[in-house]
A and B are shown apart, each in its own frame.
Chain A
Amino acid sequence: MRMGFKKTLTMAKLSLSLFYFTVFSLLLSLSTSFDPENPSVRRILVIFDDASLKSSHSIFFNSLQSRGYNLDFKLSDDRNIALQRYGRYLYDSLILFSPSADSIGDGSLKLKDVMDFVDSGHDLILAANANASDFVRNVASECGADFEDDTAAVVIDHTSYSVSEIDGDHSLIASDTFIKSDVIFGRENIEAPVLFRGIGHSVNAASSLVLKVLSASPAAYSANPNSKLSKPPVLTGTSISLVSVVQARNNARVLISGSLDMFSDRFFRSSVEKAGSTYKYKKSGNEQFLMELSKWILHERGHLKAVNIRHHRLGETNEPSIYRINDDLEFSVEIYEWSGTRWEPYVADDVQVQFYMMSPYVLKTLSNDKKGLYYTSFKVPDVYGVFQFKVEYQRLGYTSLSLSKQIPVRPFKHDEYERFIPVAFPYYGGSFSTMAAFFIFSILYLYHK
């Protein structure tokens, strides 16, 4: 009897541990597989056309690897380059460091493939050089950045060049005109100027999605340094963009740089002294600039998500399927920002909600509790119809939030009106006085004389 009891106990223990093991392995497999809730990309394809690039740009690549990215290096003439297989993308992000290769993978990766990759929400880092190929130019112009047409031209600046280099054509530019954005560059200021040597591009005026993150000084121009300038250069001044970023409407992010050298170890480690200033920085701003920018490009920063849109009548907790005109309601939504490892509360005081039917009837700024919960309360307008709660949040550097939730609003039912209203007292009085008059009249009429 006792033995039997012990036996069942051990069996129960065994099955329990088996169960735990199954659950544990299931959890493990879940945590290692790709998580759609995790916007930071993990697999990156790096295409380069010079075998030495891997070592000459090692700091940049190593920092990406140390941040947890799997880099897959492929030479641009590798025939096995493919972004997708069986309709699924093999990579989450693409780094195109092959400025001179006219065809990638012997034609296996076409412009359309790259653009489809971006269109499906993946990120792209593109670096060009002087003598950039048509392929690179076309990718950039599809994204809204037009590189200088003259293949021999580079950006030249006789006022803000870097004096630490000996070459005299002033094509090594030290620029510190960054776009002002905490979300793109992080909270720390970039003190040292960024070294740049390469071609400039202009931002397509028709595209509202492209941002100049690093622009040239007003004295810069784009020309061939080895020939005499016979006619005025096409690209001049601050309209030259050295580095641009694009955030597409699907929140894919693209970095376009006119210089591949700016990613190199030599530029990262180089000291910099801007012409005209006496202060010599021990280290250029390139590393900080590109690290912070790559964090933004790879969605480690500035990626928002909104969850748990809730609304209910004031004093209730359940979400009604319909509101009545003039109801008081409470609306709340939670907004989080991806920090690269986890979702953290997003804190801002400019998130607004619209109560919308063809046009916003109510527009209210949401208050927040610093833990990601945004809330407000308002009165449903005196108009019935099918409304929407809308949150349209577009801020520089942040992914755009566009939420809407439909809710109908009905008028009063016939028995929901007030029975007697004060404004109608003259009419009540009139009606009752005729009744009283009828009574008095009847008595008078019947009993006179």
Chain B
Amino acid sequence: MARSTTKDAQALFNTLRSSYAATPTNLKIIDLYVIFAIFTALIQDQGIGGLYGNSWIFPIQLFSIGVLSCVGTAVLAVCLRIQVNKENKEFKDLSPERAFADFVLCNLVLHLVIMNFLG
């Protein structure tokens, strides 16, 4: 039973990897970008417990801005990925150039807000 479970998981993982290999490069780049953003957010989360403990002088505003910038980046990248995915028929009327322009504009707004909050 246990053996077959490991085997199943391996098979599942292999299928996933092989079908992901077929993914276009531009989507792979977006995925990498999303992973980076999530990873950065997690590192900052670790800071709460590790660096400050329960200290009440913890700079909560700056922490939320740091995490929000990562989350915002990830969300916008995922939106871009949905729009430029060829297999997604929902946005077939939308050109990838238009999608990328939207993405850049949203990012500019996001980072402008974050710069304002930083100090």
> A residues touching B (Cβ–Cβ < 8 Å)?
419-421, 423-424, 426-431, 433-435, 437-438, 441-442, 444-446, 448-449
Of B1-9, B14-22, B57-65, B87-95, the one touching chain A: B57-65
A419 shortest CB reach to chain B, Å = 5
CB atoms of A431 and B66 under 8 A apart: yes
A426: min CB distance to chain B, Å: 5
Q: Which residue of A lies closest to B114 (CB)?
A: A431
* B25 nearest CB across to chain A (Å): 6
Q: A449 contacts B25, CB within 8 Å?
A: yes
Closest to A424 in B: B62
Query: Separation in Å of the B105 CB from the closest CB of chain A?
Result: 12
Minimum distance in angstroms from B10 CB to a CB of chain A = 31
Known: A426-B51, A431-B69, A435-B111. A444 touches B29 (CB 8 A): yes
Instruction: Determine whether B118 belongs to the interface, using a CB cutoff of 8 Å to chain A.
Output: yes
Query: How long is the Cα–Cα vector from A437 to B25 in the complex, in angstroms?
Result: 18
Docked-complex contact A448 and B29, CB < 8 angstroms: yes
Given contacts A423-B59, A437-B37, contact A430 B29 (CB under 8 A): no
Let me know if B30 is at the binding interface, CB within 8 A.
Answer: yes
Distance of A419 Cα from B26 Cα, bound (Å) = 39
- Tell me the number of A-to-B contacts counted with CB atoms below 8 Å: 75
Residues of B within 8 A of A420 (CB): 119
Q: Which residues of B are in contact with A by a Cβ distance under 8 Å?
A: 25-26, 29-30, 33, 36-37, 40-41, 43-44, 47, 51-52, 57-59, 62-63, 65-67, 69-70, 73, 77, 100, 104, 107, 111, 114-115, 118-119
Distance, CA A437 to CA B104, complexed state (A): 13
CA of A435 to CA of B119, assembled, Å: 16
A contact residues around B41 at 8 Å (CB): 430
Closest residue on chain A to residue B70 by CB atoms: A434
User: Of A424, A428, A441, which one neighbours B29 at CB under 8 angstroms?
Assistant: A441
Residue among B41, B47, B52 having the largest count of chain A Cβ atoms under 10 Å: B47
Q: Considering the complex, give the chain A residue whose CB is closest to the CB of B57.
A: A423
The distance from the CB of A420 to the nearest CB of chain B, in whole angstroms, is: 5
**Contact between B44 and A426 (Cβ–Cβ < 8 Å)?**
yes
Using known A-B contacts A420-B119, A435-B111, A437-B73, determine if residue A427 contacts B44 with beta carbons closer than 8 Å. yes
Residue in contact with B73 in the complex, picked from A428, A434, A445, A446, CB distance below 8 Å: A434
Residues of B with C-beta under 8 A to A438: 73, 107, 111
The residue in chain B whose Cβ has the minimal distance to the Cβ of A442 is B104
- A-B pairs with beta carbons under 8 Å apart, 26 shown: A423-B59, A426-B43, A427-B44, A427-B63, A428-B66, A430-B70, A431-B66, A431-B114, A431-B115, A431-B118, A433-B40, A434-B37, A434-B40, A434-B73, A434-B111, A435-B69, A435-B111, A435-B114, A437-B36, A437-B73, A438-B73, A441-B29, A441-B30, A442-B104, A445-B30, A449-B25
CA gap between A442 and B41 in the complex, in Å: 20
Min Cβ gap A325→B in Å is 14
Give chain A nearest CB distance to B83 CB in angstroms.
13
Nearest CB of A to B113, in Å: 11
> When chains A and B are docked, how far (Å) is the Cα of A420 from the Cα of B59?
11
Q: Is A424's CB under 8 angstroms from B63's CB?
A: yes
Contact residues in B for A428 (Cβ distance below 8 Å): 62, 66, 118
Known A423-B59, A437-B73; judge A430-B44 contact (CB<8 A).
Answer: yes
Name the residue among A427, A433, A435 with the largest chain B CB count within 10 angstroms.
A427
Q: Give the one of B25, B52, B69, B111 with max A CB within 10 A.
A: B69
| Assembly CA distance A437 to B74 (angstroms) | 11
CB-CB nearest in chain A for B111: A435
